[in-house]
Amino acid sequence: MSELSKLSPKEKAQTGMILIKTAIGEILAENKDRWLGRNQIEESLGLWSEYGSGTYGAVASMFLDELVKEGDVVARRDPDGRTWLYRTAV
């Protein structure tokens, strides 16, 4: 029996959220010298296609918003509404 199968559904969801947030942090850290758009981050996570991001992209966006609130990521918005993100802490 794998360790994952021993977890409750809630614990599995919490583990997934931690992994997504960690992956976002790593992507931003790898690109620390440039601003990234949400779509670029979602694409790096394998959550973006020509059809949009869907539910998983929405989850990734939620974590990006959380990182901005925590101060780990700075966001700026272009006049056309696009948001760009930059990692402040590594």
Tokens in use for 84? Answer: 């760009």
Helix (H) or strand (E) segment spanning residue 24: helix 9-30
Q: Return the DSSP state at 50.
A: T
pTM strictly above 0.85: no
24-65 per-position pLDDT tens digit: 888 888 888 888 887 788 888 877 665 555 666 677 778 777
CATH dotted code for 10-87: 1.10.10.10
Where in the chain are the domains? Answer: 10-87
